[in-house]
Amino acid sequence: MQGLLMQMLEGTAVSLRIFFLTILFSLPLGFVVAKGRMTSISIIRWITDLYIQIMRGTPLILQLIFVYFAPYYIFGASYDRFTACIIAFVINYSAYFAEIYRSGLQSIDKGQYEAAKVLGFSRSYTFFHIVLPQVIKRILPALGNEVITLVKDTALAQTIGVSELFRVAQTASSRVFSTVPIFIAGVFYFVMNYIVSRLFSIFEKKLSYYR
Amino acid sequence: MREMIRLENLSKSFSGLEVIKNISFTLSEGEVLSIIGPSGSGKSTMLRIITQLERADNGTLTVDGMTMFHSEDGRAIYSKPEDLRKIGLKMGLVFQSFNLFPHFSVLRNITEAQRAVLRRDKAEAEEKAMLLLRKMGIEDKANQYPFQLSGGQQQRVSIARALALDPDMLFFDEPTSALDPELTREILKVIRELAEERMTMAVVTHEMHFAKAISDYAIFMDNGVIAEEGIPEELFGNPKEERTRKFIASFEE
C-alpha cells in the first residue's frame, strides 16, 4: 500500500510538471497568438485562425500522437516522449488562451484607448497600465476554467507513454485487480483542482475592488 | 490676439461618405466656442480630428502657431510625430462617456498622466489633483473608485483629469449628453466657471441656453458644413438660415 502511494505521488509529480511547464509556455505564447489573430495583416491573421481552428477542432489526444510520431515517420528520428508531450500541450493550450485573451482585449471600451491617447500616454504605457489590468480582471473566470481543464487533461499524456498519475493508477489497478488506485487518483485530481480554483477565487477577490 | 486654433478647409470621409465638407474656423485665446447641430452633422468628428483621434483627409490645421497638418495636392499631410505630440499636450478633451480608468482611484485617475507624461513627482501630482478636486467640489471622493461616483461626479473627475496637465485649451464632446438634468447643471456650472477664468474652450453641446450664455462665438453645423455662424445673440436670437431656426426651435418645446 505504501509502495503504491509512493508510485502515485511520483506520477503526480510528473502530472504537475506537465501542468506547470504548459502554463509557463502557453500563457505568454497565447498572447502572441491572440495578437496574430487580431492583426491587420491578413495573411498572418489567416494562418493564426487556421492554427486555432485545428487546435480546437481536433482531439488533444490525437495532437499528442501526431506531435510524438510525426517526426519519426517524416524524418525517421524519434525523440523524448516528455518533450513531445509538453510541445503538444503548449501548442494546444496556447490556442485556447489566445481566444480568451482576444475576448478580453476586445471587451475593453475604445474610450479607454482614446482617453489614454489624449492624455499623452504612449502605446506601451496604455497597454500595460490601462488595458492589461482590466483585461486580466475580465478573463480571470474563463482562464480559471481552462486551467482546471488542463489539470485533468494531463491524464492524456499516457497516450504516448508518459508515466503520469493516471497511467500509474491504471497500471496499479490492473496489477492488484482493484479500482481503488483509480479512485485514489480521482481524489488527487480533485485536491489539485480544489487548490487551483481557490487560487483563482483569491485573485478574483483581489481584483473586485473596482467594476 | 493669440490664435489657438486655425482650421482651414477641413474635409473628412468615412468609407466614401463625406461627413465634413470644407470647414474653416478660428479659436482665439480665452475664447469660448460652442458648436451645435443635429447628430451626424460632423461636430464630434471635427473635435476628434483636432484632438488627433481621427485623421483629416484634407485641410490645414494650425494650433498655437504649430502646424498639425497642411493641405498638399488635395490631401492632409501631417507633421512629424514629435510635433504632433507637443500639439496634443496643448489640449485636453472631455468625453461624453467620461472614459475614466475604472481600475484607478479618483486621485490616481488625475495623477497618472501627470506622472507618466509630464514626469511630475508624486507629491506635486497629488497636490495638483487635490487642488482640482477641491475646485470641482469633490475632494472627499479622492480615494473612491469611478463606479462609486454619480455620472456628474465622474464627469467632474474627467474634467479635473484633463486640467491636471495644464492644457492651453479644452474641448468638450457633448459633456452632458449622458447625464440627467440635475447632473447636467453641475457640469455646466463647472464649464461656466472655466469660461469665467478665460480658459480657451470649444464645446459641442445640445444645451442651447447654456451655449448662448457662455460662448463668445457659435457655429451651427448641418450635414458636414457650417450652415451658420456668429455671435450667440445673433445665432440663437435671430438666426438667418431656415435650418438653424428649425433646429433651435426644436429645443424650445
Burial of residue A73 (number of CB atoms within 10 Å: 0-12, 13-18, 19+): exposed
Strand partners, B62: B6, B67
User: Can you give the three-state secondary structure of B213-227, one letter per residue?
Assistant: HHCCEEEEEECCEEE
CB half-sphere exposure, B76, CA atoms < 13 A: 26
Q: What is the mean pLDDT of residues B195-206?
A: 94
What distance in Å separates residue A108's CA from the closest CA in chain B? 11
Q: What is the mean pLDDT of residues B94-98?
A: 96
C-alpha cell, A39: 492583426
Task: Please report which helix (H) or strand (E) contains residue A98, including its range.
Answer: helix A81-106
Contact A211 B147 (CB under 8 A): yes
Q: Are B158 and B110 in contact (CB under 8 A)?
A: no
Contact A112 B99 (CB under 8 A): yes
Q: Sort out which chain A residues have CB atoms less than 8 A from B172's CB and list them.
A: none
What distance in Å separates residue B162's CA from the closest CA in chain A? 7
What 8-state DSSP symbol labels residue A133?
H
The DSSP string of A51-87 is HHHHHHHS-HHHHHHHHHHHHHHHHS----HHHHHHH
What distance in Å separates residue B243's CA from the closest CA in chain A? 32
* pLDDT score at A78: 83
The three-class DSSP label of residue A113 is helix
C-alpha cell, A121: 500616454
The predicted model scores a pTM of 0.90
Domain spanning A2-206 has what CATH number? Answer: 1.10.3720.10
Write the pLDDT tens digit of every residue in A20-60: 999 999 999 999 999 999 999 999 999 999 999 999 999 99
Q: Are A173 and A181 in contact (CB under 8 A)?
A: yes
C-alpha cell, A74: 517524416
Contact A120 B147 (CB under 8 A): no
Number of A/B CB contacts below 8 angstroms equals: 58
Smallest Cβ–Cβ distance between A119 and the set B53, B146, B165 belongs to B165
φ/ψ of residue B34, rounded to 5: -110, 145
CA distance B11 to B6: 14
Contact B99 A115 (CB under 8 A): yes
Calculate the alpha carbon distances from A84 to A12, A68, A88 in Å: 19, 5, 6
C-alpha cell, A29: 505564447
C-alpha cell, A88: 503538444
- Domain range annotation of chain A: 2-206
Q: Which strands, in side-by-side order, build the sheet including B217-222?
A: B91-94, B169-173, B200-204, B32-36, B217-222, B225-230
Mean pLDDT over each residue of chain A, to the nearest integer = 95
* pLDDT score at B253: 64
Mean pLDDT over each residue of chain B, to the nearest integer = 95
Intervals of chain A under pLDDT 50:
none
Write the pLDDT tens digit of every residue in B127-185: 999 999 999 999 999 999 999 999 999 999 999 999 999 999 999 999 999 899 889 99
* pLDDT score at A4: 86
Give the position of cell 452632458: B176
For helices B151-163 and B106-116, what crossing angle results, to 10°?
20
B26 touches chain A (CB under 8 A): no
* pLDDT score at B67: 97
What distance in Å separates residue B158's CA from the closest CA in chain A? 9
Q: What is the ipTM of this complex?
A: 0.94
